[in-house]
């Protein structure tokens, strides 16, 4: 009796602890939403303006889909992924460098709760930025929404995958410059070489093969399929790759957190 | 009764450094306990192991009977820790931080009254809406103490809570901590102000090089050096006949240990016979600092 009571009160406190951490993570980026939401939307719009102006009349990737329309889902997804990554990774590296991570480490929050709180906040940041770009883009162009279910699935899985990747990077990095290296040498190349600005069918065969090794390619292609109903490959393959990567990376993260890797010496 | 803290054969290695060498320590519920020792003795390491911020190389730790590893949630719920470093979250103000901290421990709105009470008792009321980044060092220290208390833990560990804190706050802070102790909270502190430990704590552990070298009630520790100390500044070296009483010396300044005041007569007459005159003289009680020096030298 006594144990079952204390188990249920532990479960309740664990739930509230996780919820509080999630709320704090949300508030952390929302307080500085000018940098964390408005700035990435602005950047995406600049890309849109420049590339669509230069290429609209010269490139048609899919029949009946203008270049600007083609570009928008890719830009939305790229920003969504980058911001989901930035949210968890920058929160962790900052609180590690400042030392205030110990406030969370002292609490009875389980490693699963810790993971879910950071994950959920990253997903929301990604979705908010993505939605923002989508809404602003609608002012300029009509976008079809062929399969909203695919759009939502890839947005959720993509931001979840990159949020998780951000947690791994945040745990691993000990200094800001290590995190910057991670951003510049892993996240940026993966997002630019993923078919945001072009269809990979326009690449030489060798580079097409290389693109197939890039998980960002599947997220962007699947996401784009949701809008136009056409893509470079089947959305089911993309879904499999993205969901599989998300699952594998989540397991890795949970193992890192459970072992206390770099967080509990 | 279950001890508040129970530590068995605790070892901690940092690479080649053997920072804790088999520490055994049990602290009863309701104690006001001091952990003393020079820089690098291993006090913070011990506290971080208790808090689960570090993992032991071997040995076991329990807080209120809950194993720090196997039953980490229950152990952490029972423990509030004030870290030695002045850490803070620059995104939030004092009240927000305290509510978050309570929330991490599963405490919701019902805890807000307690948060307000801590804010009041630690003199943070007019800073409650100030961003943590804008607080002065001493104010940040108060906020850290408040954060450790936010979930009202039965066991409170303070790692040098008075470093960089002005006299006034020290008083109000100790008054508040004393009250918590009277209400049944177990208090464990480290400090380099020995008079604080002497005045507040009923039991003391002294650490050196990762080991506990003394563990006793404050009274017993003070009684290890019975009698008084006689500080002398002399015109010439101390006569041989008095050398047995010397505790420490520096040039022609000596500190002698004397069992009772009748010994004074003897010392004065020896000095007169030897033709040594006294330039300055002071009679003092042995305090914790003497015990500390004696044990650690
Ligand atoms: N994370 C760490 N990695 C490596 N060595 C460490 C680490 N933490 C502590 N040490 C070493 O362990 C020893 C004990 O350090 P600790 O911080 O526990 O001392 P302390 O008694 O708290 O000292 P102080 O009074 O200065 O706070 C020191 O030699 C210190 O350099
Ligand atoms: Mg210390």
What pLDDT, in 10s, does the model give residues B199-231? 999 999 999 999 999 999 998 888 776 678 889
Whether B104 and A109 lie within 8 Å, measured CB to CB? yes
* pLDDT of the residue at B154: 97
Q: Are residues B233 and B216 located together in one domain of the fold?
A: no
Residues 88-107 of A with CB under 8 A from B: 95, 98-100, 102-107
CA of A254 to the centre of ligand 2 (A): 31
| pLDDT of B111 above 80 | yes
CA gyration radius, chain A: 20
φ/ψ (deg, to 5) at B170: -55, -45
Q: Which of A13-17, A198-202, B135-139, B144-148 has the highest mean pLDDT?
A: B144-148
pLDDT number for residue A8: 62
Is A265 inside any structural domain? no
pLDDT bin (cut points 50, 70, 90) of residue B93 is very high
Chain A residues whose beta carbon lies within 8 Å of the beta carbon of residue B14: 265
Contact A106 B53 (CB under 8 A): yes
Last residue of a domain, one of B191, B222, B253: B222
Is a pLDDT exceeding 90 seen at residue A237? yes
Are B287 and B169 contained in the same domain?
A: no
Domain that holds residue A133: 2-259
Q: Which residues of A touch B106 (CB under 8 A)?
A: 9, 12-17, 108
Pocket of ligand 1 from Cβ distances under 6 Å: A 265; B 14, 17, 19, 37, 39-45, 84
Averaged pLDDT, A238-248 = 97
Question: Under an 8 A CB cutoff, do A17 and B103 touch?
Answer: yes
Q: How many beta carbons lie within 10 A of that of residue B213, not counting itself?
A: 13
Distance CA B264, CA B283 (A): 10
Q: State the pLDDT at residue A13.
A: 73
pLDDT at A210 (0 to 100):
87
Q: How far apart are CA B134 and CA B127, in angstroms?
A: 10
| Residue B82: its H or E element | strand B79-82
pLDDT of residue A105: 97
C-alpha to C-alpha distance for A89 and A86, rounded to whole angstroms: 5
Residues forming a β-bridge with B278 = B234
- Please report the number of interchain residue pairs, chain A to chain B, with beta-carbon separation below 8 angstroms: 90
The string of DSSP letters for A165-186 reads HHHHHHHH--SHHHHHHHIIII
Question: Where does a domain end: B222, B255, B276?
Answer: B222
Does residue B167 have a pLDDT over 90? Answer: no
Max Cα-Cα span within chain A: 74
Q: What is the pLDDT of residue A153?
A: 98
Which residue does chain A place closest to B104, by CA atoms?
A: A17
Query: Last residue of some domain: B167, B195, B222?
Result: B222
Residue of A nearest to B99 (CA): A20
pLDDT at A254 over 60: yes
Nearest-ligand number for the alpha carbon of B207: 1
Ligand 1 atom 19: residue of nearest CA: B40
CATH of residue B176's domain is: 3.40.50.300
By percentage, how much of chain B surpasses pLDDT 90? 71
Lowest mean pLDDT among A205-219, B20-34, B183-197, B282-296: B282-296
Q: In this complex, which of A17, A99, A102 lies closest to B105 when CB atoms are compared?
A: A17
Q: How confident is the model at residue A5 (pLDDT cuts 50, 70, 90)?
A: very low
Is the same domain home to B285 and B269? yes
> Are residues B100 and B121 part of one domain?
yes
Query: How confident is the model at residue A1, as a pLDDT?
Result: 34
* Number of structural domains found in chain B: 2
pLDDT tens readout for residues A66-99: 888 999 999 999 999 999 999 999 999 999 999 9
CB contact under 8 A, B108 and A16: yes
Domain count, chain A: 1
A64 touches chain B (CB under 8 A): no
Q: Nearest chain B residue to A113 by CA: give it.
A: B104
Q: Which atom of ligand 1 is nearest to the CA of B210?
A: 14
B88–chain A Cβ distance below 8 A for any pair: yes
Strand partners, B7: B25, B61
Rounded to whole angstroms, how far apart are CA atoms A66 and A51?
12
pLDDT score, position B42: 97
**CA of A184 vs chain B CAs: smallest distance (Å):** 26
**Mean pLDDT, rounded, for B7-31:** 97
| pLDDT above 70: percentage of residues in chain B | 99
* Record: contact A107-B105, CB cut-off 8 A: yes
Q: Are residues B243 and B164 in the same domain?
A: no
| Residue A37 in domain | yes
Here the tokens at position A69 are 């329309």
Record the pTM: 0.90
Judgement on whether residues B169 and B288 belong to the same structural domain of the protein: no
ipTM confidence: 0.91
Residue A47 lies in a domain: yes
**Containing structural domain, residue B277:** 228-296
Would A224 be classed as within a structural domain?
yes
pLDDT of B238 higher than 60:
yes
Q: Do the domain assignments include residue A264?
A: no
A4: pLDDT strictly greater than 60: no
Same domain, B9 and B46: yes
Same domain, residue pair B179 and B234: no
């Amino acid at each position: 009796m006594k144990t079952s009571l204390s188990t249920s009160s532990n479960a309740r406190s664990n739930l509230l602890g996780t919820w509080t951490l999630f709320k704090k993570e949300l508030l952390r980026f929302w307080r500085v939403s000018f940098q964390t939401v408005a700035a990435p939307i602005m950047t995406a719009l600049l890309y849109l303006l420049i590339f669509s102006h230069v290429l609209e009349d010269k490139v048609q990737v899919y029949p009946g889909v203008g270049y600007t329309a083609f570009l928008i889902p890719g830009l939305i997804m790229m920003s969504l992924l980058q911001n989901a990554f930035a949210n968890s990774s920058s929160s962790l590296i900052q609180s590690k460098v400042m030392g205030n991570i110990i406030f969370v480490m002292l609490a009875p929050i389980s490693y699963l709760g810790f993971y879910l709180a950071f994950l959920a906040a990253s997903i929301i940041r990604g979705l908010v930025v993505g939605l923002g770009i989508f809404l602003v883009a609608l002012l300029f162009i009509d976008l079809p929404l062929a399969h909203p279910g695919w759009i939502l699935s890839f947005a959720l899985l993509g931001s979840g995958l990159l949020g998780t990747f951000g947690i791994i990077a945040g745990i691993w990095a000990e200094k800001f410059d290590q995190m910057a290296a991670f951003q510049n040498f892993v996240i940026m190349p993966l997002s630019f070489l993923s078919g945001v600005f072009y269809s990979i069918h326009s690449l030489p065969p060798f580079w097409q093969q290389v693109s197939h090794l890039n998980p960002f390619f599947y997220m962007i292609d699947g996401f784009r399929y949701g809008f136009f109903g056409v893509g470079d490959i089947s959305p089911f393959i993309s879904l499999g790759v993205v969901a599989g990567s998300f699952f594998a990376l989540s397991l890795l993260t949970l193992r890192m957190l459970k072992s206390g890797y770099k967080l509990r010496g | 009764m279950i001890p508040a803290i129970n530590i068995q054969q605790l070892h901690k290695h940092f690479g080649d450094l053997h920072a804790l060498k088999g520490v055994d320590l049990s602290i009863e519920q309701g104690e006001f306990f001091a952990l003393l020792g020079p820089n690098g003795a291993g006090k913070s390491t011990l506290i971080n192991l208790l808090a689960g911020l570090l993992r032991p190389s071997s040995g076991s730790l329990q807080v209120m009977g809950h194993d720090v590893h196997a039953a980490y949630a229950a152990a952490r719920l029972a423990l509030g820790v004030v870290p030695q470093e002045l850490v803070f979250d620059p995104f939030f103000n004092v009240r927000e931080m305290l509510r978050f901290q309570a929330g991490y421990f599963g405490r919701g709105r019902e805890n807000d009254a307690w948060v307000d009470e801590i804010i009041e008792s630690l003199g943070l009321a007019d800073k409650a809406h100030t961003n943590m980044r804008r607080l002065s060092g001493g104010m940040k220290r108060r906020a850290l103490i408040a954060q450790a208390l936010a979930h009202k833990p039965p066991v409170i560990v303070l790692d040098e809570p008075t470093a960089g804190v002005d006299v006034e706050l020290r008083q109000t802070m100790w008054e508040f901590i004393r009250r918590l102790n009277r209400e049944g909270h177990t208090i464990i502190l480290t400090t380099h102000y020995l008079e604080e430990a002497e005045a507040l704590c009923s039991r003391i552990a002294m650490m050196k090089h990762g080991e506990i070298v003394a563990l006793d009630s404050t009274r017993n520790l003070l009684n290890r050096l019975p009698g008084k100390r006689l500080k002398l500044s002399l015109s010439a070296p101390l006569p041989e006949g008095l050398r047995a009483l010397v505790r420490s010396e520096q040039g022609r300044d000596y500190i002698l240990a004397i069992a009772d005041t009748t010994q004074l007569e003897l010392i004065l007459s020896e000095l007169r016979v030897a033709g040594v005159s006294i330039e300055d003289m002071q009679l003092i009680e042995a305090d914790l600092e003497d015990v500390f020096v004696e044990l650690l030298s």
